[in-house]
């Protein structure tokens, strides 16, 4: 039975809430627009009918051939009533004719779906009745059309609301995913080194209580320091994995030559103690400035060099090379070793988080996966290759920043660094 995912439920509720609110807002807007259109059209049609009835009452001299949907009733000075054929039931309104004929003011009323105007016209009293049936039919047609448009608009609003809600909650989903991944990574990566560090600290404490000499304690103390350093590196990797700012556009100008020189210098002591030859080859005449985050790129190179030292035996050689590629101008940074290498089938799996090797024995950690995330975030690529005679080569390609003036203001390099 699958356990419910609270983060996924949270995202679903957020999307549903946003979609419902957006849909309701759009529905209210559509209803308001439709109601205004209906009122305006109905008012205009009634005003047009009223103007036609008034015009007929003021100008018609007989009851023959009135405008369509209208009837004329004429009461002359002698009291004789003439009317248009087939008048609607209940008309004429004789009391209104009597009142106006007796000197009362003109009357305009609406009775049972008819607009009636009674007024004096010369010696006669005229009553014109206009039917509102055509206006009401047009209003019903308009209402049906607006209802259909409202439904289509509401359907479009629902689709748009769902899409907007999904896009609006995407950053939240990304943040929750990073949080989950950080917790999983931390629990996965920190459990073993913390246990080892605790065990070594306990052993060192026991030896101190037993009165061991400083000479006897030196190996354990060094192992304790190394374990603490490894734990710090893991924590640094985990923190780097949670950073949202690994994109190049929010960084600064970074000279990869200067950066590589500093990182290689930090590994000199390790290369001497391991008796591994470490070389740095730079091209002083080609631009090597990229736009990005120096700390993240430094961590990538540190990870690659650390990986090379972990798989290179004493007497081996590790080379860091920096050059350029034509076409779209790019800087190429290569870390090459002649160590144990890897199975070619694992070339892509190397960059997966906590993946296992092709033979299911070798395990890959977090460092190379983070390296690819950083390089990809800087608009570059990273590849791994096994040499024909063994060893491993990692190649990073990053777009050159401002190739015309990339060298302005940066330190002058005189040639390949000494080994």
- Residues of the domain holding 142: 6-42+136-171
Q: What percent of the chain has a predicted confidence (pLDDT) above 90?
A: 18
The domain tally of the chain equals 4
- 68 part of a folded domain: yes
| 418 has pLDDT over 90 | no
Regarding whether 384 and 257 lie in a shared domain, the answer is: yes
Regarding whether 395 and 295 lie in a shared domain, the answer is: yes
User: What confidence score (pLDDT) does residue 78 get?
Assistant: 86
- 153 part of a folded domain: yes
Q: What is the pLDDT of residues 353-377, one digit of tens each?
A: 655 544 444 445 567 887 888 888 8
Regarding whether 391 and 367 lie in a shared domain, the answer is: yes
Query: Which residue in 395, 413, 378 sits closest to 321, CA to CA?
Result: 395
Regarding whether 270 and 378 lie in a shared domain, the answer is: yes
Regarding whether 186 and 265 lie in a shared domain, the answer is: no
| 273 has pLDDT over 80 | yes
Regarding whether 335 and 255 lie in a shared domain, the answer is: yes
Q: What is the pLDDT of residues 194-225, one digit of tens each?
A: 777 788 788 888 888 888 887 778 887 887 88
According to DSSP H, which parts of 348-400 are helical?
A: 367-377
Burial environment of residue 300 by CB neighbours within 10 A (0 to 12, 13 to 18, 19 or more): buried
Give 270-274 contacts, CB < 8 A, sequence gap 24+.
Answer: 270/309, 271/309, 271/318, 274/309, 274/312, 274/314
Regarding whether 26 and 162 lie in a shared domain, the answer is: yes
CB atoms within 10 A of CB 276: 21
User: What confidence score (pLDDT) does residue 211 get?
Assistant: 82
Mean pLDDT along residues 369-394: 85
| 250 has pLDDT over 60 | no
Regarding whether 163 and 23 lie in a shared domain, the answer is: yes
Domain boundary among 221, 242, 263: 242
Helix (H, G, I), strand (E, B) or coil at 109: strand
Mean pLDDT along residues 296-318: 89
User: What confidence score (pLDDT) does residue 245 get?
Assistant: 45
Regarding whether 232 and 149 lie in a shared domain, the answer is: no
- 324 part of a folded domain: yes
The tokens 């008012």 sit on which residue? 43
Q: Are 125 and 118 in contact (CB under 8 A)?
A: yes
> Which of the pair, 363 or 260, is modelled with greater confidence?
260
- 321 part of a folded domain: yes
Token pair for 318: 């590790």
Regarding whether 258 and 332 lie in a shared domain, the answer is: yes
Residue 182 banded pLDDT, cuts 50, 70, 90: low
Domain boundary among 242, 270, 292: 242
Query: Which residue in 96, 91, 417 sits closest to 264, CA to CA?
Result: 417
Phi and psi torsions of 101, nearest 5° = -65, -30
* Spatial separation of the C-alpha atoms in residues 43 and 28, rounded to whole Å: 22
Q: Are 73 and 127 in contact (CB under 8 A)?
A: yes
Regarding whether 395 and 332 lie in a shared domain, the answer is: yes
Q: How far is CA 369 from the centre of its chain?
A: 24
Q: What is the pLDDT of residues 83-138, one digit of tens each?
A: 998 899 989 999 999 999 998 999 999 888 899 999 998 889 999 999 988 888 88
* Spatial separation of the C-alpha atoms in residues 334 and 349, rounded to whole Å: 19
* Spatial separation of the C-alpha atoms in residues 322 and 384, rounded to whole Å: 16
Regarding whether 218 and 350 lie in a shared domain, the answer is: no
CB atoms within 10 A of CB 334: 18
* Residues facing 375 on adjacent strands: none
Does pTM surpass 0.85? no
Q: What is the CATH number of the domain that holds 83?
A: 3.30.450
User: What confidence score (pLDDT) does residue 95 get?
Assistant: 92
Q: Are 150 and 29 in contact (CB under 8 A)?
A: no
């Amino acid at each position: 039975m699958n356990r419910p995912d609270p983060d996924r439920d949270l995202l679903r509720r957020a999307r549903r809430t946003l979609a419902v609110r957006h849909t309701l807002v759009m529905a209210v807007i559509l209803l308001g627009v439709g109601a205004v259109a209906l009122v305006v059209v109905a008012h205009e049609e009634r005003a047009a009918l009223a103007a036609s009835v008034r015009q007929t009452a003021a100008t018609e001299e007989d009851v023959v051939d009135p405008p369509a949907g209208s009837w004329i009733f004429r009461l002359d000075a002698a009291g004789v009533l003439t009317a248009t054929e087939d008048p609607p039931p209940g008309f004429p309104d004789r009391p209104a004719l009597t009142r106006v004929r007796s000197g009362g003011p003109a009357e305009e009323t609406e009775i049972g779906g008819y607009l009636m105007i009674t007024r004096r016209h010369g010696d006669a009293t005229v009553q014109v009745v206009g039917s509102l049936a055509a206006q009401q039919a047009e209003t019903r047609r308009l209402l049906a059309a607006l209802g259909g448009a409202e439904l289509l608009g509401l359907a479009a609003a629902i689709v748009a609301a769902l899409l907007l809600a999904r896009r609006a909650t995407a950053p939240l989903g990304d943040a929750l995913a990073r949080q989950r991944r950080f917790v999983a990574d931390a629990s996965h990566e920190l459990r073993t080194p913390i246990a080892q560090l605790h065990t070594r600290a306990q052993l060192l404490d026991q030896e101190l209580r037993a009165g061991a000499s400083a000479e006897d304690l030196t190996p354990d103390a060094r192992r304790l320091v190394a374990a603490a350093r490894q734990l710090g590196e893991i924590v640094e990797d985990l923190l780097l994995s949670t950073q949202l700012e690994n994109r190049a556009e929010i960084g600064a100008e970074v000279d990869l030559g200067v950066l590589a020189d500093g990182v290689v210098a930090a590994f000199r002591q390790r290369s001497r103690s391991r008796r591994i030859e470490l070389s740095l080859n730079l091209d002083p005449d080609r631009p090597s400035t990229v736009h990005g985050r120096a700390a993240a790129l430094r961590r990538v190179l540190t990870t690659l060099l650390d990986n090379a030292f972990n798989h290179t035996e004493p007497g081996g050689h590790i080379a860091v090379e920096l050059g350029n590629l034509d076409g779209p101008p790019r800087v190429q940074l290569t870390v090459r070793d002649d160590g144990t290498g890897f199975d070619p089938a694992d070339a892509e799996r190397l960059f997966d988080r906590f993946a296992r090797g092709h033979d299911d024995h070798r395990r890959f950690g977090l460092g190379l996966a983070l390296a690819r995330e950083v390089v990809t975030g800087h608009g570059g690529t990273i590849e791994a290759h096994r040499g024909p005679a063994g060893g491993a080569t990692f190649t990073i390609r990053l777009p050159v920043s401002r190739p015309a003036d990339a060298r302005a203001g940066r330190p002058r390099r005189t040639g390949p660094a000494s080994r």
